[in-house]
Structure 1
Amino acid sequence: MVLRSCWKSRHKNSCGPAPRWIRPALLWLCVTQCVCGIGAVEDSKNVVQKDAEFDVTYNDSVTSQNQTIYAFNHTISRNKTEGVRVTVDVLSRGSDSPILFVVRQKQAVLSFQIPLILRGLYQRKYPYNHVGRTLCQPPTRAASETQYFFVDVSTLSSQGTNYQLRVSRVESFTLQTDKKFSFTASPSQPQYFKYVFPDGVDTVIVKVNSDMTFPCSVMSIQDIQCPVYDLDNNVAFIGMYQTMTKKGAITVQRKDFPSNSFYVVVVVKTEDEACGGPLRFYPLRPDELIDAGNRSKLIDVVVTPAINSEVYVMGMLFCLGIFLSFYLLTLLMTCLENKRMKKREAFQVPDDMSPAETGKTPASPYEYGSFADNGSTLSSEAITDSATSTDNNYGYIERTMDCVGRSRHESLSSVEEDDYDTLDDINSDKNIVRTKKYLCVSDLSRKDKRILSKKYQIYFWNIATIAVFYALPVVQLVITYQTVVNVTGNQDICYYNFLCAHPLGALSAFNNILSNLGYVLLGFLFLLIILKRDIAHNRALFRKDLNALECGIPKHFGLYYAMGTALMMEGLLSACYHVCPNYTNFQFDTSFMYMIAGLCVLKLYQKRHPDINASAYTAYACLAGVIFFSVLGVVFGKGNTVFWIVFSVIHILATMLLSTQLYYMGRWRLDSGILRRIVYIVYTDCIRQCSGPMYIDRMVLLVLGNIINWSLAAFGLIERPNDFASYLLAIAICNLLLYFAFYIIMKLRSGERIQCLALVCILFTAVVWGFALFFFFQGLSTWQKTPAESREHNRDCILLSFFDDHDIWHFLSSIAMFGSFLVLLTMDDDLDTVQRDKILAF
């Protein structure tokens, strides 16, 4: 408009239009005058520059017609760092436009408005009229340098707005090692301080503490550069950061900061939801401003040196030394046992004669009528079988040894379980045998050894296959997790014990990974022990040793191999979980715990019931169902009533079906006539004649088992624990302990004894389990809560300044599991010289 009016005034004058040749000159003149006119308009806005001083409060006002520039200068030195803090408070309220403050420095520009609008969840707006910001201090190469900076104050509001401006020096801007520093922060007044690595220190732990749970805060570690991201909406842009309530800790390494220094930034969030606090009300209008209230927080920060490389080496040697000592102890005991066995064989049997050539029956601490003497009543069929076996002992042994001798040259792959079950004699008497009131192991070990050996070896090969296909994607996933943590700096992703998390390379908590080495080493040691026993047993069969052929619990090692493999995989997957522990991958840590518990129960049952134990396919299918429910519980179980009802119903039904299987020894089938048969049994046994249960011991076990499982199901339905995976594991462990206690009691009731080695293993394992559970329940972190709430449980290392309570749980639990496996392996060694038709099945 100004250019057009200028052109008209020059183009037309009192004498008429200007000549064509002069029009370009007139146009240039108009442009020049218009620019000058605009400059005149700008000059009409009053711009005042003031020489300002530190620690002086300036009370002033600003409108759209005036602008104030405060000029400051200060001297900085290379050997001393001082912070500069700008504090602004707006005294007038209700202005239609905010006041804009711009701080111009040598290498940076900092700008903010008042009221400062910070956004929370769902874009809720919180205004702040009191703002304090610290200016970044770029490093200087000169010994001493004078730097200038300017604070520009302006607004577009036509109304005058009063404000206070104060610029002050922060004397304690540099943090000192092992010296606590206290300060106050709020959402509009964030604080940050500088830390310089001293000589000889490569890693430090920055610890931030507060007595106040809320307001929620964020601690960030940033490199020395401008700008510093110190507001709630940008603190996560660079560096490492984590939310905190009362505690926060970040391990910082010198190699990550080329300047050998970093900023410790503390920001108070506008809302507390990130720390597990309550969700505030939702505004009625999208543009509604919410009063944030007083959100100041008193915070202490201290920087301490982390451990050095010598502590790493000591921790590794300690871990290896503990578990390798078990190898040495096992080797020593093996040598002593071999020496004792050679002496016994030299005393009992000449060197040139095998046990079969002596023609002697195995030594037994029990006589054929021992059960009758103990008050037990055998069925007439069992007594007849015993008498017959006495009369025809030598002929039967000869036929058995011939059969075994032939089986050593036959292929296992040519024998199937169905080939044996289709024989007429088995179909005619297997149900009759199982209905005897007192069963012996010989009654339930009638199948060919080659068939059972092949059946139980499937357990090992199946779990080996499962381990490979399960572990590979797990390793890939946790590597991705660790990469995301390292790249983004978001330390809320993983639930470490940050006060005792020692990094090594790309790993954030190497100590938690190293402590899982015991599962792998002891699992491998157990496999070696089983391999030795397997080889010794096969040699005994090849020599046609009567003790191996006719005495003791039938030796099937497939489940033992599977247990050792599961223990090794538990160590590997637990290490993977501790690379980045959180609720999305907790099933990595528990999946093989379920398998270990299930395999132990199966092994206990297999000892006395080798013919009717579950197949590997059925067992692993059931375990897969358990893991499936574990995943569903973690994802959908929290507060979901429908899920808990469905799970409780399935839990109770599974308990009843398993009880039926155990009570009737597999002599039942699940089909359309199951309800009719149940009604018939209830009518005939309970209503018509009120007869008691035929198998008292089994009934007592199953009643107790149902009471416990129904109670656990009711507890889950009522309480709905957040940690569903641990709840499911507790169910498995309770059932394992119940059956193990039943087995021990029945073993002692049957007149059997527990040898010294097995008794030592039981006592040692019980003590170690007690200490292990003590450290497990210390609860250094929990993914059931927010990361900030989890950090409230963090504690310092307690062993060698390298391992925390959870690491000790790893040590002790791996030893306890290994001891539990040894208990299962050795608890029936007292029966190795007892004929199987004198060993009760229970």
Structure 2
Amino acid sequence: MVLFTVWGSLLCLVHSDSSVVVQKEAQFGVSYLDTVTSHNQTIYSFNHTVSRNKTEGVRVSVELLSETTKSPILFVIRQKQAVLSFQVPLILRGLYQRKYQYTQVGRTLCQPPTLVASETQFFYVDVSTLSSTSVHYQLRVSRVESFTLQNSASMQLRPNPRFVNTHSLYFSSAVTLTDCSTLQECPVYDLDNNVAFIGMYQTMTKKGAVTVQRKDFPSNSFYVVVVVKTEDEACGGPLKFYPLLPDELLDAGNRSKTLDVVVSPAINSEVYVMGMLFCLGIFLSFYVLTFLVACIENKRMNRKREGFLQPADMSPAETASIIGVRSTNYIIIIIIIIISLSVADNGSTMSSEPVTDSLASAEGTYGYMERSMDTVGRCRQESLSSVEEDDYDTLADIDSDKNIVRTKKYLCVSDLARKDKRVLNKKYQIYFWNISTIAVFYALPVIQLVITYQTVVNVTGNQDICYYNFLCAHPLGALSSFNNILSNLGYVMLGLLFLLIVLQRDILHNRALMRNDITALECGIPKHFGLFYAMGTALMMEGLLSACYHVCPNYTNFQFDTSFMYMIAGLCMLKLYQKRHPDINASAYTAYACLAAVIFFSVLGVVFGKGNTAFWIVFSVIHILATLLLSTQLYYMGRWKLDSGILRRMLYVIYTDCVRQCSGPMYIDRMVLLVMGNIVNWSLAAYGLIKRPNDFASYLLAIAICNLLLYFAFYIIMKLRSGERIRCLALVCILFTAVVWGFALFFFFQGLSTWQKTPAESREHNRDCILLSFFDDHDIWHFLSSIAMFGSFLVLLTMDDDLDTVQRDKIYVF
């Protein structure tokens, strides 16, 4: 029979296994020095008053006083609706399973809920061990002062966890990279190895920020946990050398962080509305401005045609149709669906029976002979009626004819605009239909993937997955950074506006053809709009895919943001080349195959390019070879063959032109362009091979942009050198676009985040909103770059308007 004796507040329980349980009534703020063995267990009983309208924190601090012990002490804290347990010494694991030992541990208890105004609650701290020898420890339980955060607070943190209660957050810390912390909004889990189990969390070095939505916390309060991690590697710090002893316990050292926590209210719904109205207002103003310019231009053209007489070969119905369409011109433009219908039916309209003969191109005259209007009309009537491009190759002398025409020292547009216009229209319409098909099949899986990314972020709470500018990331619904998505609206709206402008020009040109306007048929740069439609579609898709990328920006989906940038750069170069070389421009299938190869290398560069010497060597060799092949193609206007005899012919040309007689190149202008292009591309290839930039996609985009700018500058210089002029509208577009590009690039290089570093290091670049408290620097880049791209497209569309009344045999090819 065991005798139970109560003496003061001490209660001793003796079990059959000789283990004694001692319960003590303990007080807050008192340090208890005690011992524990496998034969005795101590229970500390605490009680405190909990108020429903007041949140208080309780801190349990434990220190192990015995120097060596093989068995840890187990502390179990039993609360109302919660149980918390931990051991001392506390063992935390770092990188490569390295173990760190802490003999001082502190845990903060969350306050259990209560339905009454005030309630007395009990909690118990159980202390036990399996050590056969006595283990000394110190226990202290105290209330946390200023547990509820209202405005701001400063705190000194160690790897022992601590958390506070607040409503909205801004985190910053002015310390070096040697300390790494984790921010989280959730209760209970406050150790380095479990802090990411629940809630929202992110790593930080000097700066971090979290936007909390009220809908996620119905109780209007939550816990903020701040943990100093055991190692720096998770935040981008240096990897220290440690001996590879798996059982060795490492000392974490004196790791601490001083943290300033500032509370700031989130923006309200009015700021969201103002941001959206501002975004819409900017780009709708371009629609209004374009409409006014179109009205002025249409009025000027109508005055110019006041003396126009009805042609004898047009029926009254056709004449009435032209007059009716002229009066409803801008109503048609507003109807967006007519874009696809117009492009789809363009070829069939051109081949309709009443205008078949009048639309056939002149095939019977070559060289530089100036032609009269009667000769032009007769040649058109006698031209071929076929609309298939392959029919030209059935002529016996077609190859020799091409060699004679295309290898002349000085070429005119008439020499390279000999094919039937209907054939070329169909050829270039394929650009639009192909890019539309590519857009659908590319965008659908991208949208599905980024939805998955956002879902993972919302479910797991891991803020390290996506590289936002957290100081200016405004959530809306399931989207974590709505402002970065909204700012891409400009690409879509201005791309659509460009399609409408191209549609207007296409309609006006078709009307001129219907009335047998000789100026439209035989003067100016040949009007082919398929590439322009493709460019507008690519700009719209760039906006969509950029928005998808900014749903969760990181290195694995950065190619979504750049893929259609490659498309835009390639299409612009093709359009520049097509202006003076309509007959020999690349087909849509060849062009998109080359662009697909570029995107393929972009993906390979993201996956394998970082520090991979073999990849950079292979890519540089392919880059240089492709540059040489393209240079040869452009220099000889396609009149060369890549076969087994290519080396023999190259040696013969070198011998005859460089050894036998030292003569200069036959095509000086083309040679200057190609030499400069090779210098630029070889330099870029050497830079990539030496520096090996981590952002391979941006490096590849830089190559495309450099080549486009070089060719555009060459085109402008040669245009002025040939005695041509640039009209006022095109000049205004060029100057406006150049200024906007300058400002856009300034904001682009601000670098608010970067996925080339760790998430914690990326947050060091985060900055506050600078426009309407809603948009950051990168949003302004989206605004300005979309306007600049739109302006660049207008430059390509209008830069040769001065040639609309010049016969094609007087327009030089360069």
- Output the TM-score relative to the length of structure 1: 0.87
Equivalent position to 2:255, from 271, 274, 295: 295
CA RMSD of aligned residues (A): 2.1
* Residues 348-747 of structure 1: pairs in structure 2 closer than 5 A: 349-352=307-310, 385-387=367-369, 389-390=370-371, 393-402=372-381, 415-747=387-719
> For the structure 1 residues 661 and 385, does the alpha-carbon distance in structure 2 shift closer, same or farther, using more than 3 Å as the test?
closer
- Whether 2:180 is the aligned partner of 1:216: answer yes
Aligned mate of 1:304, from 241, 244, 264: 264
Aligned to 1:817: 789
Whole-Å Cα distance in 2 between the matches of residues 815 and 479 of structure 1? Answer: 28
Contact 1:190 1:266 in 2 (8 A): yes
**1:8-407, aligned counterparts within 5 Å?**
42=16, 44-176=18-150, 179-187=151-159, 189-195=160-166, 197=167, 204-222=168-186, 228-281=188-241, 283-346=243-306, 349-352=307-310, 385-387=367-369, 389-390=370-371, 393-402=372-381
Q: CA deviation at 1:779?
A: 0.7
The 8 Å contact of residues 184 and 201 in structure 2, kept in 1 or not, is answered as yes
SS of equivalent residue, structure 1 residue 252: coil
Equivalent position SS for 1:456? helix
Structure 2 counterpart SS, 1:68 = strand
Alpha carbons of 1:183 and 1:611: their partners in 2 closer, same or farther (altered >3 Å)?
same
Residue identity opposite 1:486 in structure 2: N
Distance change in 2, residues 1:660/1:671 (3 Å): same
For structure 1, which segment, 723-732 or 777-786, has the greater mean C-alpha deviation from structure 2 after superposition?
A: 777-786
Q: Which runs of 5+ in 1 are unaligned?
A: 1-28, 30-38, 198-203, 358-381, 408-413
Q: 1:127 is aligned with what amino acid?
A: Q
SS for the counterpart of 1:112 is: strand
Q: Give, in whole Å, the separation in 1 of the partners of 2:259 and 2:671.
A: 62
1:765 maps onto 2:737 in alignment: yes
Q: Using the TM superposition, name which of 257-266 and 717-726 deviates more.
A: 257-266
Query: Once the 2 structures are TM-superposed, how far is the Cα of residue 833 of structure 1 from its aligned partner?
Result: 0.5
| Sequence identity percentage | 80
Amino acid at match of 1:110: L
* Among 822, 830, 838, the residue aligned to 2:802: 830
Aligned residue for 2:718, secondary structure, equals helix
1:794-828: per-residue Cα shift (whole Å, max 9, x none)? 11111111111111101000000000000000000
Displacement of 1:459 in angstroms is 0.6
For the residues of structure 2 that align with 1:285 and 1:779, how far apart are their CA atoms?
42
1:252 Cα offset (Å): 0.8
Tell me which moved more, 66-75 or 495-504: 66-75
1:786 aligns with 2:765: no
SS, match of residue 305 in structure 2: helix
Provide closer, same or farther for how the CA distance between residues 470 and 145 of structure 1 changes in structure 2, counting only shifts above 3 A. same
Corresponding residue for 1:201? Answer: none
**2:379, 2:292 → 1: CA distance?**
36
Distance 1:511 1:355, change over 3 A: farther
CA offsets, 1:628-684, max 9 Å, x none? 000000011000000000001111111111111111111111111111111111111
Q: Measure the CA separation in 2 of the matches of 1:209 and 1:689.
A: 73
Which residue identity is paired with 1:102?
V
Cα shift at 1:303: 2.2
Is residue 206–residue 252 contact of structure 1 (8 Å, CA) maintained in 2?
no
Post-superposition CA distance 1:221-279 (Å, at most 9, x none)? 11x6xxx0111111111111111111111111111112111111111222222212233
Q: Which secondary structure state, in structure 2, belongs to the residue aligned with residue 794 of structure 1?
A: coil
Which amino acid in structure 2 is aligned with residue 513 of structure 1?
A: I
Task: Name the SS for the 2:662 alignment partner.
Answer: coil
Worse overlay, 51-60 or 253-262: 51-60
Q: What CA distance in whole angstroms lies between the structure 2 residues aligned with 1:583 and 1:301?
A: 30
| CA displacement 1:369-421 (0-9 Å, x = unmatched) | xxxxxxxxxxxxx999444x34xx244222245368x96xxxxxx72211023
Aligned partner letter, 1:638: K
Deviations 1:112-147 (A, max 9, x none): 111101112232211110101101111222222222
> How far, CA to CA, are the matches of 1:652 and 1:586 in structure 2?
25
Does the Cα contact within 8 Å between 1:95 and 1:161 map onto a contact in 2? yes
C-alpha distance in 2 between matches for 1:237 and 1:212: 27
Letter in structure 2 aligned against 1:831: L
CA contact (8 A) 2:32 2:139 kept: yes
Work out whether residues 73 and 127 of structure 2, in 8 Å CA contact, stay in contact via their aligned partners in 1. Answer: yes
Gap change, CA 1:623 and 1:278, over 3 Å in 2: same
Question: CA offset at residue 44 of structure 1?
Answer: 4.2
Larger radius of gyration: 1
Distance across 1 between alignment mates of 2:660 and 2:65: 93
- Distance in 2 separating the partners of 1:135 and 1:350: 90
CA deviation vs aligned residue, 1:54-95 (integer Å, no higher than 9, x gap): 222222222233333222222222222221101111122211
Matches of 1:584 and 1:806, distance apart in 2: 20
Deviation at 1:356, TM superposition (A): 11
Q: Give the Cα–Cα distance (whole angstroms) in 1 for the partners of residues 493 and 67 of structure 2.
A: 70
Residue identity in the other structure for 1:620 = Y
Aligned equivalents of 2:260, 2:366: Cα separation in 1? 84
